[in-house]
Amino acid sequence: MKVKLIEGSETSAIRTQTPGNYPKEKKIHIERGESLKSSFILVFVNVFCGLNTLLIFSAFHRAYSHIFTYIHIYLHIFTYIYIYSHIFTYIYIYSHIFTYIYIYSHIFTYIHIYLHIFTYIHIYSHIFTYIYIYSHIFTYIHIYLHIFTNTCTLFK
């Protein structure tokens, strides 16, 4: 591929002002495959910039992957804290329920004791009733004994 250099263009005027950049040499370099070299250089620079960008992204990823890992770990920790806070809330609620059960068990124990007391009172009331009945029986026996004794003394 031959590229012709136009003598009056702006690019050639600028190139001619730089030292060592003469139009004849430039023409020779272009004819010898300089454009092919420059296209290889452009490809190399583009690939190098792409790799450099990839390396920068890779370095960015390596540098920040730890941060994202920590964020991921902290999210797990906060999730567990959230779950355990619910568990501890349920434990707190159940502790109150067990406290009430404990209190009611004491109340039921006192009721049980009072039932025993009332049972004993009932038993003693029966005993006193029997004593009352036997006292009447003994009173009747006493009366009959008096009557019998008085009758016996009459017949003597």
Q: Which domain holds residue 147?
A: 33-154
Tell me, yes or no, whether 66 lies in a domain. yes
Under 8 Å between Cβ of 50 and 57: no
Q: Is residue 76 part of a domain?
A: yes
Does the residue 134 lie in any domain?
Answer: yes
pLDDT at residue 80 greater than cutoff 90? no
Percentage of the chain with pLDDT > 90? 25
Give pLDDT, residue 75. Answer: 84
Residue 97: pLDDT band with limits 50, 70, 90: very high
Question: Stretch 108-127: mean pLDDT, rounded?
Answer: 92
Query: Does residue 14 lie within any of the structural domains?
Result: no
**CB-CB contact of 26 with 15 (8 Å):** yes
Q: What does the buried/exposed string (b/e) look like for 6-29 if buried means 16 or more CB atoms within 10 Å of the residue's CB?
A: eeeeeeeeeeeeeeeeeeeebeee
Share of the chain above pLDDT 70, in %: 57
Task: Name the average pLDDT for the chain.
Answer: 74
pLDDT band at 153 (very low <50, low <70, confident <90, very high): confident
- Domain contains 131: yes
Query: In the prediction, which pLDDT does 35 show?
Result: 56
Amino acid at the residue 121: I
- Structurally, the chain folds into a number of domains equal to 1
Reported as a single tens digit per residue, the pLDDT across 3-58 is 555 555 555 545 444 555 555 555 554 555 555 555 656 565 566 566 556 556 66
Reading the block at residue 8, the tokens are 């009056």
- Predicted TM-score (pTM) of the model is 0.34
Selection from 18, 19, 21 nearest residue 30 by Cα? 21
pLDDT digits (tens, 9 = 90+) for 48-79: 566 556 556 666 666 677 777 788 888 888 88
Contact 67, 33 (CB under 8 A): no
Cα-to-chain-centroid distance, residue 46: 50
- CB of 3 closer than 8 Å to CB of 34: no
In a domain, 88, yes or no: yes
CA–CA distances in Å: residue 121 to residues 111, 112, 117, 126 = 15, 14, 6, 8
In a domain, 83, yes or no: yes
8, 30 contact by CB (below 8 A):
no
| Per-residue pLDDT, 55 | 58
The answer to whether position 111 is within a domain reads: yes
